[in-house]
Structure 1
Amino acid sequence: MYSVSKHNDFIQLLESLLPEDGLLQTDIAALSLSKVSITSEFACSMYEPSVYFIARGVKEVHLAEQIYTYDASTYMLSSVHLPLSGKITEASQEAPYLALKLTFSLDEIMEVVQESGDAFAQPCTKKCDCALVMGAMDEALLDALIRLVSLLKNPKMISALSPLIIKEVLYRLLDHHPQMFIKQFATMGSYAYRIMQAIRLINTHFAEPLRITEMAHQLGMSNSLFHRHFKKVTTLTPIQYQKKVRLQMARKLLLSQKVDAANASFQVGYASPSQFSREYTRMYGLPPKSDTKHQSDFSKQS
């Protein structure tokens, strides 16, 4: 746990940097801050390798059939790109939702693991295959976050100090017992590492046909082993994962570029607009055209 006064300091610091609602991409490239004064509907998006902290408010996130809820007492850690849907369930004008996202790369994790030597060699006592986990906030982690965010008020110190504090945060995450799985993802040759490579390939080439046998062979795995470990990490099969990525990319096209549904479906790899429409409706609850209008109307109301 952590002291109430330190938590209040964190809230005041974020409020001073976020005078209005919205997402702030800060001068620290890996760090973004957000403020929202109303609860939200479910929104699907691709969560990159990041750790997500909430200073105030509550968020609910869905990954396949799994439901995760976190608040200021916890954090959410995603070690690979995952297609998630989430909504803010607690926020108001008087007490806006305040959150922080810190992204990291495989290279950064590998550096921390290599430098730690045997410091984190003890085995994990809990199942830690899935790439999305929750952890409990503590005083030391909160203190590091406050020092990192405080650098935004001293820009000349960012280049020298932010990499050190980010590394400290990663060390502390690695030290949190349930999160030992990070080491698996940073260990060359491990099944988790190979699945991460597969995830990267699917995200890079999502519009292309997914050739399971070819990908499994490329990773040095049998089809059955590839399927089993892919689902352990993502809770989805490779085909289900690619479908979610395609539909999210299509939705992004529909909302941001104003393309029609047929055009969006072809751009993300669908050969049949009707199949695209069916699967889009199944995932988002509305056909593409209706969903686009609904999202536009909701944005105007917000």
Structure 2
Amino acid sequence: METDTTEIKKKEGFNGQKAIMLPRSIISKSCVSNPLLSGIYITDIGFYPKAKFHYRERDHGIDQYILIYCTAGKGEVQIEKTPYSLLSGNFIIIPAEKAHAYASDKNDPWTIYWAHFKGHLVKPLIALLLRRQKNYKGFVQFNESRIKLFDDIYLNLERGYSTDNLCYVNTSFQHFLSSFIFDDKFNYSSKKIMVNPIDLSIEYMQKNLHATFTLAEVAKSVNLSSSHFSALFKEQTGFAPIKYFNHIKIQKACQYLQFTDLRIKEIAAALGIDDQYYFSRMFSKIMGLAPQDYKSKRETLRESKFL
């Protein structure tokens, strides 16, 4: 259960609740000292359905970060002097060492997935979250894959605290956290509708790797002006649009080199580049070696059974 001695207003718990508190001796021995796990690791985790009267107040905070993800009902969270209302789809991360309180709504109690976690990589991860959404609270679309990932983490923890179990659980938990920070990318393959113009433009590029585009042509494909599209694209990806297009062309070229017997000239042509020498220079600049050297290296690795 959650690790404080504050009053719990409903002593008997909540119907269907589940919670695991990892032994502190296990955390100290297997997580803190393990370089693979010390970045981010779970200390407590649980699920409270329709948690009427659920309440916590910690005047001095705790030494763990807390994730609360609300999937039904509603509740209130206060971090220091800032209040937050949580509805279905909202999540919040409460920073370590900060005074806080949270409570389920009396008339429409929340259903929450929660976890306490620590590690030296947590602060930069939370800083990334704040850069993307400006505060500790966010909203994510319901995704069954996120719940399945949580359940997988929980069920594996129930099986005990072997090193393998802890490694699997905590690396999976990093993925779980990233699903809140990058909701637009989580389980991307199952998403049928894309409304972000940058995502649409990248899909347009992927479907037309054989073509050569100008900036204006790519911007037109998503009904934006060249200047607005270019600024938005660079803000979201870190790259100029045409440079990004060249990167995914070269990514495809790597696949051709690895999985086909196409010649360099044929690969260049398949990617809409008439001059194979220009293609080779582009490939070398991006990948750090020439196409033929890349092909030879991959063949050597395959023969050595490293792949």
Superposition TM-score, scaled by structure 1 size: 0.44
Larger Cα-atom Rg: 2
Superposition TM-score, scaled by structure 2 size: 0.43
Q: Which of 1 and 2 has higher RCO (CA within 8 Å, sep 6+)?
A: 1
